């Protein structure tokens, strides 16, 4: 459905500094699959999501790479064209904290109207209303919500409405950036169920789900990609990444999982010390070196490539698989 090859993008700040927020990222999602992206704050998850749509406007700038959506190569398309023919139709994006950014003076139906009119200004009010009603019915949301203002909706309902607005034009790929992080568990579950239903009924063909909550990601995604400092450091199925992490960073992330299950109280919560490197001038070698328990002098010399280990699995570390596994065994 969606394929990205060696995509790099950067932010140019107000002081004309470059921030390399996405660095040579490749990924591929097949129809019916959900790709999860994990990583701590500031590692470039949201930036990757924005970059994937091929829609660049300052301060975000394209550097290199290719984006192919459903067989169509959109690399180098003009932003205007992308907005008209790709956004919302081929690929839709739910920005982080979108539900808190809704204009409080407008009704839900107006947001849907905006999306439709941006692509086809000829739609009448009645057509928009009929479409919105059908859409809400399809997604299992009450139609009364259409006539409400954002403040009248609870957090969970607001987020589900935002998703409905995003999929108004039935996109093939949906990118959801932290759609449930601000919600409590019950609302979160409803949001996830709605997304899951949309995938299962084929309403959307593929999904990218971004979050730093690993247990959630494990339950939602088929494959998980772990990002660190703008790079992919590990890729594999959800099970592999959670239960058998290879990269020391992924391993560290797994140590921060808190679920109310019997083993939890005896397990030791491990925090990764330190902070991610500054992306203005990332270190030449492994970007995780400053925080890595297993760092070797040669880690800091040249950049570490992403090693493929078969079955779509890959990780970015100079240590061999077995050695890493053995180290983790001992650490525990």
Partner 1 sequence: MVNKGNPCLSGRGVTKIFGFGRHKTIAVDHVDFDFHEGEIVSIVGESGSGKTTLAKMLLGLISVTEGEIYFQGKKRDLSSGRKKQEYWRNIQAIFQDPFSSYNIFHKIDSVLLDCIRMRGGGNLPREKKVEMMTEACSFVNLKFAELTNKYPFELSGGQMQRLMIARIFLLKPKILVADEPTSMIDACSRATILDYLMKLRNETGMTLIFITHDIGLAYYVSDTIYIMEHGRFVESGSADDVILYPKHPYTRRLISDVPKIYEEWDLSTV
Site membership for ligand SF4, residue 63 (CB under 6 A): no
Residue placing its CB nearer to partner 1 in the complex, 239 or 300: 239
- Only segment of 59-67, 120-128, 193-201, 292-300 that touches ligand SF4 (CB under 6 A): 292-300
- Quick one: what does residue 11 bind among partner 1, Mg ion, ligand ATP, none, with the CB cut-off 5 to 8 Å set by partner type? ligand ATP
**Contact partner, 317, from ligand SF4, ligand ATP, partner 1, none, Cβ < 5-8 Å per class:** ligand SF4
Task: Name the residue among 230, 229, 248, 238 with its Cα closest to residue 315.
Answer: 248
Q: Which does 44 bind (CB under 5 to 8 A by kind): Mg ion, ligand ATP, partner 1, none?
A: ligand ATP
Within residues 29-88, the interface with ligand ATP by CB under 6 A covers 39, 41-47, 59
Q: Does 101 bind partner 1 (CB under 8 A)?
A: no
Distance from C-alpha of 233 to C-alpha of 300, rounded to nearest angstrom: 15
Q: Cβ atoms within 10 A of the Cβ of 329, count?
A: 8
Contacting range for ligand SF4; rule: CB under 6 A; set: 9-17, 114-122, 263-271, 288-296: 288-296
Positions 169 through 188 that interact with partner 1 (CB under 8 A): 183-188
* Site stretch for ligand SF4 (CB under 6 A), options 10-18, 150-158, 167-175, 314-322: 314-322
Q: Is 190 in the site for partner 1 (CB under 8 A)?
A: yes
Q: Which of 96, 159, 188, 240 binds Mg ion (CB under 5 A)?
A: 96
* 249-278: contacts with ligand ATP (CB under 6 A): none
Q: Does residue 196 belong to the site contacting partner 1 (CB under 8 A)?
A: yes
Judged by the rule CB under 6 A, the positions of this chain that interact with ligand ATP are 11, 13, 19, 21, 39, 41-47, 59, 96, 212, 279
Judged by the rule CB under 8 A, the positions of this chain that interact with partner 1 are 40-42, 155, 183-190, 192-193, 196, 212-216, 218-220, 242-243, 252-253, 255-265, 269-273, 275
Judged by the rule CB under 6 A, the positions of this chain that interact with ligand SF4 are 248, 286, 288-289, 292, 294-296, 299, 304, 317-319
């Amino acid at each position: 459905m969606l394929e990205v090859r060696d995509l790099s993008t950067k932010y140019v700040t107000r002081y004309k500094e470059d921030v390399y927020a996405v660095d040579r990222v490749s990924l591929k999602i097949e129809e019916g699959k959900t790709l999860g992206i994990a990583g701590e704050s500031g590692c470039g998850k949201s930036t990757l999501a924005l970059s994937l749509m091929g829609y660049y406007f300052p301060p975000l700038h394209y550097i290199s790479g290719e984006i192919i959506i459903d067989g169509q190569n959109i690399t180098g398309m003009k932003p205007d064209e992308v907005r008209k023919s790709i956004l919302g139709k081929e690929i839709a994006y739910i920005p982080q904290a979108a539900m808190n950014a809704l204009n409080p003076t407008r009704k839900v139906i107006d947001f849907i109207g905006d999306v439709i009119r941006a692509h086809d200004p000829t739609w009448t009010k009645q057509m928009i209303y009929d479409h919105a009603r059908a859409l809400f019915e399809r997604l299992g949301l009450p139609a009364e919500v259409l006539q409400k203002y954002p403040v009248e909706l609870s957090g969970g309902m607001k987020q589900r409405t935002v998703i409905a607005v995003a999929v108004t034009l039935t996109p093939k790929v949906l990118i959801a950036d932290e759609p449930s992080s601000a919600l409590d568990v019950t609302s979160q579950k409803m949001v996830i169920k709605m997304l899951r239903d949309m995938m299962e009924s084929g309403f959307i063909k593929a999904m990218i789900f971004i979050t730093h909550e690993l247990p959630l990601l494990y339950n939602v995604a088929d494959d998980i990609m772990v990002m660190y400092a703008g790079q992919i450091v590990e890729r594999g199925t959800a099970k592999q990444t959670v239960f058998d992490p290879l990269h020391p960073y992924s391993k560290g992330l797994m140590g921060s999982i808190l679920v109310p299950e019997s083993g939890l109280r005896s397990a030791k919560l491990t925090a990764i010390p330190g902070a991610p490197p500054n992306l203005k001038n990332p270190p030449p070698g492994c970007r995780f070196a400053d925080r890595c328990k297993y760092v070797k002098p040669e880690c800091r010399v040249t950049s570490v490539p992403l090693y493929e280990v078969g079955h779509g699995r890959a990780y970015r570390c100079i240590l061999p698989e077995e050695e890493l596994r053995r180290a983790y065994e001992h650490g525990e």
